[in-house]
Structure 1
Amino acid sequence: MIPPVPAHDGDRPGDLPDLTRTPRSGVDLVGTLLSAWTETNPLRREAALTASCTPDVRYTNPIGQAQGRPAVAELLGRIARSYPTLRPVRISAIDLHHGYGRFEWAMCLPNGHRVLEGLDVITLSADESRIAEVVAFFGPTDRTTTYTYGASAHGEP
């Protein structure tokens, strides 16, 4: 298993965002987005999404989709009400390039036990100031020993 890149100051997995300032980096945007998942106050949830996402943000996971901040806020609210003890925690560094990013996360119980792990792939707005799309994958990503462009899923041509 390949360990994540060591975190830098202000980029430690599990760090909470500073909601008193405007997000300035991918780390801030992702942290603010994750804070919306556990926010019980709908207005604060919407404020976190406004600070981190474009108005027409799209969110897709294996069981559903939502488009637009109000629809994403409602989806996150339903999830939070259904699983009130779980909170999302970023468990990897954030890999960003050319307006795209990826990071691993876990839904954790208060004692830190990981109930579900996954990977999010994000698309940033053209000016990279907000998240325009989130595509979530549930479960761990299978690892291969060799990566070859155009190879099968198991690293074989």
Structure 2
Amino acid sequence: MPATITPGTDLVQAYLAAWNETDPATRKAAIDAAFTPDARYVDPLADVSGADGLDALIAGVQQQFPGMEFRQIGDVDSHHDVCRFQWGLGPAGAEPLVIGFDVVVVTADGRVTTVHGFLDRVPA
């Protein structure tokens, strides 16, 4: 069983680390650490479940936006088993090209079980 991650900033950092990892084996380990095996991710462009679905989605986003990174924007707001946060995707140190907002449900062991994602700004 993975180490418990507190809902909040630590969880968001583990979540974003999975999205930023380009090495497939290391990414799989990051997904396993941050998400439950049956986790569901849904946003306006995707609806996937399980580690393999998440891995394929993340790999696809990395192909679409090569060399870009996800980073947290602002603070994490959390209570009970839920947290929300805004993120940006863009070149390191530059203005994000994509900005989104995720609401994450966390299990008792501190892993993500559900992500409801929203896209606030996307390239034309």
Q: Report how far residue 23 of structure 1 moved.
A: 5.2
Give the structure, 1 or 2, with the largest relative contact order (CA under 8 Å, sep 6 or more). 2
**Counterpart pick for 1:64 among 46, 49, 64:** 46
Partner of 2:73: 91
Q: Report how far residue 128 of structure 1 moved.
A: 4.6
Q: Report how far residue 57 of structure 1 moved.
A: 0.4
- Helix, strand or coil: the match of 1:137? strand
Could you tell me how far apart the structure 1 residues matched to 2:72 and 2:36 are? 21
Q: TM-score, normalised by structure 1?
A: 0.70
Partner of 1:103: 85
Residues 46-100 of structure 1, C-alpha deviations (whole Å, 9 max, x = no match): 1111111111000011111110011101110111122112211101211111211
Contact kept, 8 Å, 2:39 with 2:113, in 1: the verdict is yes
1:5-154 alignment runs, 5 A limit: 22=3, 24-26=5-7, 27-125=9-107, 127-139=108-120
Could you tell me how far apart the structure 2 residues matched to 1:104 and 1:63 are? 17
Q: Percent identity?
A: 29
- Helix, strand or coil: the match of 2:110? coil
Residues 3-56 of structure 1, C-alpha deviations (whole Å, 9 max, x = no match): xxxxxxxxxxxxxxxxxx945322222211111112111111111111111110
The AA in structure 2 aligned to 1:37 is W
Contact kept, 8 Å, 1:106 with 1:115, in 2: the verdict is yes
| Higher percent of residues as helix | 2
Contact kept, 8 Å, 2:18 with 2:34, in 1: the verdict is no
- Helix, strand or coil: the match of 1:84? coil
Could you tell me how far apart the structure 2 residues matched to 1:137 and 1:59 are? 11
Question: How many pairs were matched up?
Answer: 119
Q: Report how far residue 135 of structure 1 moved.
A: 1.0
* The structure with more radius of gyration: 1
Q: Report how far residue 113 of structure 1 moved.
A: 1.6
Unaligned 5+ segments in structure 1 are 1-20, 141-157
Contact kept, 8 Å, 2:83 with 2:104, in 1: the verdict is yes
Contact kept, 8 Å, 1:55 with 1:68, in 2: the verdict is yes
Q: Report how far residue 110 of structure 1 moved.
A: 2.7
